[in-house]
Structure formats: structure tokens, C-alpha cells
Structure 1
């Protein structure tokens, strides 16, 4: 678009409409520019103006025409059909795109060269430093995980910082940008902030040094009394109601509100924070905290739900707040729980009570950690039979609110995976070692500063074996889904992995599940300088996520051979039928445990406080009116349907295989 200078008559009209300029000659305008809607504007520096022809429809039916009124503009480019009205101080050094609405703004400017929050270092996990992550527009949970946790590889950290710095250099500017269709109303100061398309900012107090990466697919909303400094906010996120942030990364589709406060923290996709406080946390996808008395500090979490009053300590009052902790994916804390860092809690574990010892239960997933007389009691594997665990696994994919086609985090929602099942194998090995050392008749065992009761240990081995059988059975049935199974040779060909990638250990990179060997390859490429851009690294993460099931099968088949004592060269249809029968027993057994656990929610004690002024019959009716009947509960019906469907799947698989026997 070629802009033109103002005509003499246009300058006269603008002056008649109370407009002033230090130099009218350097103002350029769109060929269709009209002075009609420009009033009480002070121009200075380089100014470029579009045309003002359309109206804005406001809530309540009010219409306002685009234009400029009561504003001071310095070094600004204003797009087409923009409305700027009542800026109490001024707008300086900004390019404002088409159809943007700005009204009742205190001040908005860019001062000097800025990277708009890119490159700000958040001191995650350790308040005193040492694990800083440089936040940026393209940061994924997986990149941040490696950047913060792999300090034992200084060359890697250096190269990753160089990758971020390249991007920071690209976006550094002395001119800020406001995207298309942005709405900014009743807002205080905006300083050194870049705002993407379709963002809505209303009633915020101060927004300083950051990027609001809104877009037409998934707009960002920043609400009343919000105060944020040194930040990145990704698409689809909502920052509301007096939230205060400093040196924070807010990932896609996050929600922070109700006076939540956080500093030096990373929140990745679909995190929610209300009322409470966070300091130096690595909040992987789906970290949720809703309660005013909850403090999350110096820990790594993902798929986590923090109960009211949950707290951790990273300070032993010796060398400062230097300790950190990890709750692996799927962790939960009950009300008034407490964990003394350093500690590491196994995946999908529930923490109840207050724990003052530095426990490591990472090899015991799906466990309870219960406080008893200031001692941590570990109940291995018991969470596998919990209705809450299954409900969580089902709800996470449904609660993915990301609408942006460019998703930064590659999230694997699987409850059973090579990552969690490898932990079960390790758990069984550790529990059996305790049995051998302490004797099978022992009443209690000590493991990683925890006490395990003898009955809990035996049940833990049982639960882990059931879950392992379920996972491995699922894998082999899925693998043979499209195989006609007309001969053992055809079956063996279908079972043969197409790659050796996926063997050995797997890692959870804050939501992405991948083989350790593939992560090590990625790290080697970064160190060797083969990957030098954020997009290149994120593309590798996306490919690993895309190929998950092929990589999973490589790992599962290796374990199937040892667990069920078969081999690719000799396995037959009859062997697989035996595995499927064991799988059916495992699935049904686990579902029945879950069914029984759900039934507790409809027992007589749960009816207390129902039917307050009536008899027992009234209590029952009141309960059922509110909670429903057990047999008709949606989750219970889903469990029963799951038993039916999986039984049918097993029977059909067996029937298909029997033709080869």
C-alpha cells in the first residue's frame, strides 16, 4: 500500500477539529483517508494513518464509529477502521492493525529496544537460581524440561540458550505491535508489550514487558485488575480477576484467576490456577490448583490436582530455599497435605497428610502416601483400582481447550504406557527384593523413608501384575487388529516391530512420552549444532508424539516376550489365545475393583446430610434425586459397558485366532 501526504485542506480540517502536530508534513495517510472522524488528536513523530469507514457494535446495542478522538500519538502506524478514544496520556512507538478498538486507556508505549518478554529468565524449581528457563513465544513443555533438568550437560544448556537467543534477536524491536480485531478498554499502563490478533484486554492495571500471543483461532483474554510483568501468554489463555504474575510463561489454554499470584513459574497447556500462590514451579500440562490456601513451590507437576491447603517446603533454614521436588504425572494431594522437599512422588499417586521425610517413590506408581504418626506409609499400586484415577484419565483429553492449530505441547494422555508400566516392573522388583530381605511373613517393610505393610506389599505386586497384563494384552490385540491371522507365519510377521527404536527406558518430558534413546539423539543433535532453531526442536517433539504407538509396540513386544515367555520365532496362535485370556481376566478384574470403589460413593454413610427433615425413606429419595441411582450413574454405566466391550473384543480376537490353531 502506497501512503500519501495530507492535503492542505485536510490539515485545515484537522486543525479545526482540535488536532495538532509537530510536523504535518511527515504524516502519511491511506488514499481513502477522511478527516471526518479525527478529533482532539495530538500527533508527533512518524505517523501513518489508515481509513475510518466502519462501525463497532458494542454490548447493549450501542454503535461507535471508527476514528481517533482525545489521544496523543507518537511514532505510530494506525490501521484501517481502528477506533482509539480517550487515552489519558499517550500511545508511543506502536503499529496498530486493522479493526482494533482502544478506549479509556491510561498509557501505552514502547521504550527503547525490547524483546517483549522473550528471553526473560524464570528461576524455576530453585528460587536461588541454577535452573533458569528463558521463556519465549515458542517454548514447549518438553524444551523447558530438558533445559531446566539437564544441567549435568553444560554444552546442551549452552546450545539451548543460544537457540532461544537467536529467536530473541529476531523479535527484538523498538516498535510494538497490536494485532487485528484487538479490544483494549478501561486499562491502565501497557509498556513494551506485543499483542496478537483478537486479544481482549479489559480493566487490567499494568501489563509490562511481555507478549500476548493471541490469534483468530484462540483469542487471549486479560481481565480486571490484572498486574503482569516479564511474561509470555500463549493462545487461548485467560488471565482474570486480579491475577498477579512476574517472570512467568503461560502456555496455551491456561486459566488463571481469582487473585492468583505466581512468580518465576512455567504453566503449560490447560493449567488452571485460582486463589492460591505459585513460586518457582514447573507446571506441566493440566496442573490444577483452585484453593486460596494452596501454595505450590519449587516443584515439578503435570496432570496434577492440588487439594486445599496443599503446601511444600523448599527451605530447611540452613542454606536458603534451595530444595526441589517432583510429583510425576497424575499426582494428587488431599486437603492440608504437606511434602518436605526434596522428594519424588511416583506417577498417579495420591498424597494424604503431612510428610516430613525425603521419600522417593518414583518406582511405585499408582500408590497412596498416607501420614501415620509422622511416618509416611506407602500403599503400592492401590490407585490402580481407584475410580478417581480412571475418571481423571478419561477427563483429561475432554478438557483440552486448545483451538490453535499450532500446538506447542505434545501431550500423551495414556494412563498405561511404557513409561508407567516400566515403573511397575521396577516396583515389582523392588517389592520382591524387600520380601527376600525382610522375609515374606514380615508385618512391615522400610522403603525409601516409607513404611509398607506386609499385606500392602503383596497386594501391590498383584495390582502391578494385573496392570502389566492389561497393557501388554492391549498392545498385542491392537497390533493384530488388521491381521487376518490365517497362519502362524502371518501372525509373526504382523507382530514383528518395524523399528528397534523404543526399546529400553522411556521418559516423560512433561507430557510427551518418548524412548530415552530418541531423546538422547535429540540432545546429541542440539549439542552438535544440527538443530539451531526453536521450530526445528519442536518439530522433533511432534514427530516423536506422532510415532508414539509404533515406538510403544517395540517396547511392548520386547516385554511380552519375557513376561509371557514367548519369542517371535516360535509364537503361535495358541500362545496368543492364552495371553488374550489372561488379558480378559485382568481387564475384568480391574474393572470390577473400580466398580466396587465407585459403589462406595453410594453407600449409606454418603447419604448423611441428605433428607434433613425427613425419615430414612426421605433421605434415600433426596439422595437419589441429587446424586442419582448407582446403576444409572454415567461412570458406572461406562465401566459396565467397558467390561462388555473388552470381553467381546477378547472373544472376537480368540475366535479369529482359533482358525489357525
Structure 2
């Protein structure tokens, strides 16, 4: 039975906060007065204004509780019902226009309960507007309900005074059984979500994370919802307990409940038709359109949900896009792409620069009696068409999976690999180094693309997009240890086991090529970082340059913390400082990210130097000017080879007869897809190669002095 309570009508708009939760000497408006930062001076209505309002079919339970500014025009308020304390800013004879929506300034055909309304706003046909503070030049038309409750949390994982703990909203990342759950909060970065979900055996650390979150927010009851300046809301149904920033655009949404929608003049957020969002945080500059469903979620800045996407119990990193498909219980680092209605992602940790193809079902097949599986994938994870994976599986960075139904759990430690399921022979085939051998164009272009499309204006975490970085270099070393123990046959194929939870044959192909390639990539990485260090600091001699190199010869371990690479030693220090109380808040954790970002190029250079010494089996004493010159010449050869591979991997699309057959002539093909010679990215890479050769010549001269 629905419990319908009856109250006296003259109480409508009052007693927003229960008496026991109002501090002594305060009234129910004390938090509202703190929230309303406008400098407007309000006054009571005069008798002529009241007469005008009544004539225009407005009603109020108490006209003495309607306060207005000095530039209030009563003629611009028509057919409205007012209850409780309402404060109205300037209303002047203008109309506002946004995207062909033209509305006269004023309040029309609406029910308004205990609200503060900014200057020159347009409100028309809002059936129920309750307990909101609305900024200046806001446009709201045709909305069923905009309301805030006394226990509003605006998507944050808190509870208010008097609430039971079980009402707290958690976000269950990476695992369906809630074993890695975290509290969502406004301002949560990918690194925060990762640390909280990862270090589950450290109870003291987890308690601190919860404390940091709770201290960010006030647990008192009675906060009003807010709608920032210049926000436009039209044709929506229910907006309840939602905090909305400035310059947001909401059109046609079905239901928005318990949310924070961050938006400002430079980073406008938009929510479109048919969307239903509950219990979440929307970051700055986000786009959410066309029937999206999201529940218990955080969207980091400049991420997108489109075309019926479902995002449940998940964190979506910056500059990521999910369209059509379903994502459950996942933690996704920045620069993720997923565009297909028939792709599914569940209980997974994807560490950035990932791409989900159509038909991929990642983690959809449970192979135990409980939903306790997980998939962990390093940067650059790319499951191909109709790939099906089982929990638990783990992948090194830049793994691409060929189309297929993989029958069992996988553990692939080789970066840059192609993983294939050869059904005809019942063999798992792994090709380490595939990207460099056959798809250099995509590898290089993606690195450029992700950096070019990073729209963040507040770059607290420095994201690494280069495919050769401390994390992948360390994986190359680990892979080399395995590859050098294998005994390939004359065709370069080694048979092994341990990388799939089956007894069937596993083939590692092109073992010799991969071994040579991985060593060359480590050398190239080390040389390029040292060259960058030399150029950045404008050293005049090799001796001056070498004095700045670390005396350490131990290669450091690195972790991917939400897309930012940080040394493990620094992370251990951070955790100790958090538990000891030296780091006292999420803001101080974010300051740690910033500091690590400032130090990153230096630390990366030291890592590159030690990696170079290790792969070349030399000591710092053996690293001489002549040795460095020789490395630079080898780097020119490597970059020349890479540039050639970039061209040839793209050229295959123009020479493949099955790609050409849909065009009558080469001219038609070039008109449709663009000519190979005019490819701007290839031209860009050729230009960079020429510049690199000139730089090496210039540096070589200085080194010979």
C-alpha cells in the first residue's frame, strides 16, 4: 500500500529540515543562506507589485515571504504558485536565446517552492520546482520536476545525519561481488579509484580513503540543489537531488537523480534525450546523449556516453567514449573507445588507450558458481571482433586479440602481442611484437591521437600515451627473460605452456624476431630519452651531460596509477604517508600526483638510462661520448625503419585486392578514402624523421668536442 500522508496546506514549503537536525539558534534556511553566494539585496514586495502578481493569476501562501531585488518586474511573473520563502532576482524585459530556444525573461506557469532565483532567468512550465538555488540567466522550460530533499548527497558516497549505514551508495568496481567497492565522490580521479580498489589487504589505508572522502562533504541535512549560471534545461521529466554547474545543457532527459553534474564556461557538460542517470558524478565537459542509462558511476572529465550505452557500477576515465554497449563493474582508465551495441565489458580493469570491437564479450562467461572473476589488461588493450574472454585473465600492454572464442582463462605477459585462437588446430598462438612487425601505422598514430585529443584543462594526473614508456619497457625486459629460454624450431615457433588454463598446445611464433626487436626497442627508448634530456637542458658537452645522469644502475619498477606512471617506491611512500597522517586528504593525494608529474621526465630519463645499461650489458664507465654517438646513429636507423613500417602498414590498404575491389578505379578509391601520398600523418612522420636526423647531426658535433 502506498502511504499517503496528509499535512496542512499552509505547511507546504516549510519544515524542509526536521527540527532535531537544526542547530540551536538556527532556522531551516541556514544552509541555504550559506549556499546562496549572490550579493543581491532583497526587499519585500510592495502593495502594487502584489496587486500585479494577483492580477496575473499568481498565488502565494504568504506574500510577505516573497522577496525580490530592486530590478524586479512583477509583470514578468504569470500563472505561478509560490509556497514558502522565495527570493527572486532581477526580472527585466528581455528574452534569452540559446540554440534557437527563445524565452522571455520571467516566471510562467510554474509551481515554485522555497527557492532562490537569480537575475533575468526564464522559467516556463515547470510543474514542480522545490528547494533549489538557481543562478543568473538560467533557462528552464517544460520540466515535470526539479526538487531537492533534505538528505540530498548529490552522488557522493556519504550519508546524512540520522541515516543508516546501509543506505550509503558504494561503487563496485572491477569485481561483481563488491570486494573492490569504493565510495564515489566529486573530484575522484582515475588514480584514486585504482588505489582504493587495488590495495584491499591494507585495511588502514582503506579506512583513510573513506575518511578522506567523508571529510570532503558535510553530513548536515538541508542542503539545496543548485543550478549554475547560464545553464539551459528543457523538456526533461525528473531532476531530483542534482547539483548542476554553470553553462550546462540538459535536454529531454527522463530521469536525473542523486548526481553532481560538473560544468563551467570552458568545460560545458551536456545531457540529452532519453537519458536516465542515477547515483553518479559527471565530470567537466562530458557528453551524454540518446537513451543512456548510468547507475552508480563516475565519469571523469571529457568522457562520453552515447546511443543507449549502459554504464553500471563503473568508473569511466578521461577522454573516453562508450556508445551503445553495456559496461558493468569496471574501472576504465583514460582514452577508452567502445562504440558497438553488441560489445560487453564486465568486471574488468582496463589501464587506458583501450578499444573494444563489435561482438566482444569481455568477462561475460562465468566459469565458477559465483561472480568472482576479473580481467586485468595493460595499456593499449584491443580485443578484436567477436572476441570472448573468461575470468580470470590478464594481459600485458598493447595486446590485440584476433577474432575468436577463447575457451579458457589467459595470462599473456608479452607486450605488443597478437593473440589468436587457432580452432582448426586447437592451438593458442601468441606473436610477440606484432604491432611493430605488421601495424606500426596504428601504433604510432594512436599514440599521437590520444595526446592530441586530451581535452583536459586541469591535468592533475600526467597521462602517458607513448607506447615506449617505463611500464612497457619493463614488460619487454620480462618478456625477454622468457623468450631467451625458449627453443624455437626452424620456423621460429616455440611450443610452451602456462599461458592458458588448458592442456592444449601453445605456440609462441617469431621468437627470434621478437627477441631482437624487443632488445632494439629498449635500446631505442633509452637513447631517445637521453637525447631528449641533452636537448632540453642544452648541454654543451658530453661531460656536462653525463654528470647529470644517475649513479644508480638498478632499473626501477613502475605502476600505472590511473593512466599516470609512478615509481613503485614513490607509491609505497605515499601509502605510508597516508596511513601515518602525513597526507591528510584527497587534495594532498592529488598534490602528490602533480609532484610526480613534475618529476616524471627526470625519473623516466633515469629509468631509460638504467634500462640502456642493462640491455647493453655495460657499466656507467663504458657509457662514453663515442658510445652515445653510436647509439644515436642506431636510433636513426630504428626511426627510419619505423617510418618505413608506418608507410608500408598503411600501404597494404591500397594494394590489397579485396580492399580495392569495391572501387572501379584507383581515382575513385583515392576520392573516397584519400590517397596514400596525401596522408597527413605519414607526411608528418616523414617530416619528423628528417628533423630527427638533423638533430642527431647537431648533437653529434657537440659530443665530439
Tell me if TM exceeds 0.5: yes
The answer on whether the counterparts of 1:74 and 1:93 sit within 8 Å (CA) in structure 2 is: yes
**Pair 1:466 & 2:520 matched:** yes
* 1:550-589 matches, cutoff 5 A: 550-569=602-621, 571-589=623-641
**Pair 1:236 & 2:285 matched:** yes
Larger CA deviation: 40-49 vs 240-249: 40-49
2:91 to 31, 43, 52: 52
1:358 to 403, 406, 409: 409
- The 2-side partners of 1:60 and 1:264 are apart by 34
* 1:493-572 matches, cutoff 5 A: 493-496=547-550, 504-569=556-621, 571-572=623-624
TM-superposed CA distance for 1:109, in Å, is 0.7
**Pair 1:490 & 2:541 matched:** no
Structure 1 equivalent of residue 373 of structure 2: 323
Q: 1:56 to 1:360 in 2, by over 3 A?
A: farther
Larger CA deviation: 170-179 vs 388-397: 170-179
Q: 1:54 to 1:376 in 2, by over 3 A?
A: farther
Structure 2 equivalent of residue 449 of structure 1: 500
Q: Secondary structure at the match of 1:561?
A: helix
The answer on whether the counterparts of 1:116 and 1:172 sit within 8 Å (CA) in structure 2 is: no
* TM-score in terms of structure 2 length: 0.87
The answer on whether the counterparts of 1:115 and 1:169 sit within 8 Å (CA) in structure 2 is: no
| CA distances 1:150-200 after superposition (whole Å, capped 9, x unpaired) | 112121111101111111337974311111101011110111111110111
2:177 to 119, 123, 128: 128
TM-superposed CA distance for 1:357, in Å, is 2.3
Structure 2 equivalent of residue 138 of structure 1: 187
- The 2-side partners of 1:233 and 1:171 are apart by 23
The answer on whether the counterparts of 1:480 and 1:494 sit within 8 Å (CA) in structure 2 is: no
Q: Secondary structure at the match of 1:602?
A: helix
| CA distances 1:261-308 after superposition (whole Å, capped 9, x unpaired) | 121111110111111111111111111110110111111112111110
| CA distances 1:407-434 after superposition (whole Å, capped 9, x unpaired) | 4543222221111101101110111123
TM-superposed CA distance for 1:350, in Å, is 0.5
TM-superposed CA distance for 1:317, in Å, is 5.3
Q: 1:45 to 1:484 in 2, by over 3 A?
A: closer
Q: 1:635 to 1:485 in 2, by over 3 A?
A: closer
Structure 2 equivalent of residue 615 of structure 1: none
**Pair 1:416 & 2:468 matched:** yes
**Pair 1:641 & 2:691 matched:** no
2:265 to 208, 213, 216: 216
Q: Secondary structure at the match of 1:354?
A: coil
The answer on whether the counterparts of 2:542 and 2:702 sit within 8 Å (CA) in structure 1 is: no
- The 2-side partners of 1:456 and 1:592 are apart by 20
| CA distances 1:340-385 after superposition (whole Å, capped 9, x unpaired) | 1111111111111222222222x31111111112543111112134
TM-superposed CA distance for 1:484, in Å, is 6.7
Q: Secondary structure at the match of 1:632?
A: coil
Q: Secondary structure at the match of 1:635?
A: helix
Q: Secondary structure at the match of 2:290?
A: coil
The answer on whether the counterparts of 1:314 and 1:322 sit within 8 Å (CA) in structure 2 is: no
1:110 to 117, 139, 148: 148
Larger CA deviation: 352-361 vs 291-300: 352-361
- The 1-side partners of 2:209 and 2:99 are apart by 50
Structure 1 equivalent of residue 650 of structure 2: 598
**Pair 1:308 & 2:358 matched:** yes
**Pair 1:199 & 2:213 matched:** no
Larger CA deviation: 158-167 vs 366-375: 366-375
Structure 2 equivalent of residue 227 of structure 1: 276
Gaps of 5+ in 2: 1-39, 158-168
Q: Secondary structure at the match of 1:126?
A: coil
Q: 1:557 to 1:317 in 2, by over 3 A?
A: closer
- The 2-side partners of 1:204 and 1:623 are apart by 42
Q: Secondary structure at the match of 2:597?
A: helix
Q: Secondary structure at the match of 1:504?
A: coil
TM-superposed CA distance for 1:110, in Å, is 1.0
- The 2-side partners of 1:135 and 1:359 are apart by 31
| CA distances 1:223-274 after superposition (whole Å, capped 9, x unpaired) | 0111111111011001100111111111111111111112111111011111
Structure 2 equivalent of residue 400 of structure 1: 454
Q: Secondary structure at the match of 1:434?
A: coil
- The 2-side partners of 1:60 and 1:177 are apart by 23
The answer on whether the counterparts of 1:410 and 1:512 sit within 8 Å (CA) in structure 2 is: yes
Structure 1 equivalent of residue 384 of structure 2: 334
- The 1-side partners of 2:467 and 2:220 are apart by 39
- The 1-side partners of 2:436 and 2:582 are apart by 42
1:10 to 49, 63, 71: 49
Q: 1:626 to 1:502 in 2, by over 3 A?
A: farther
TM-superposed CA distance for 1:653, in Å, is 2.3
Larger CA deviation: 22-31 vs 631-640: 631-640
Q: Secondary structure at the match of 1:480?
A: helix
Q: 1:550 to 1:453 in 2, by over 3 A?
A: same
- The 2-side partners of 1:443 and 1:569 are apart by 38
Q: Secondary structure at the match of 1:355?
A: coil
- The 2-side partners of 1:158 and 1:501 are apart by 37
Structure 2 equivalent of residue 477 of structure 1: 531
RMSD, aligned α-carbons: 2.4
**Pair 1:166 & 2:187 matched:** no
Q: 1:598 to 1:6 in 2, by over 3 A?
A: same
TM-superposed CA distance for 1:619, in Å, is 2.7
Gaps of 5+ in 1: 612-617
Q: 1:60 to 1:134 in 2, by over 3 A?
A: closer
Larger CA deviation: 61-70 vs 224-233: 61-70
Q: Secondary structure at the match of 2:115?
A: strand
- The 2-side partners of 1:483 and 1:109 are apart by 57
TM-superposed CA distance for 1:485, in Å, is 6.2
Structure 2 equivalent of residue 74 of structure 1: 113
2:304 to 245, 252, 255: 255
- The 2-side partners of 1:69 and 1:345 are apart by 58
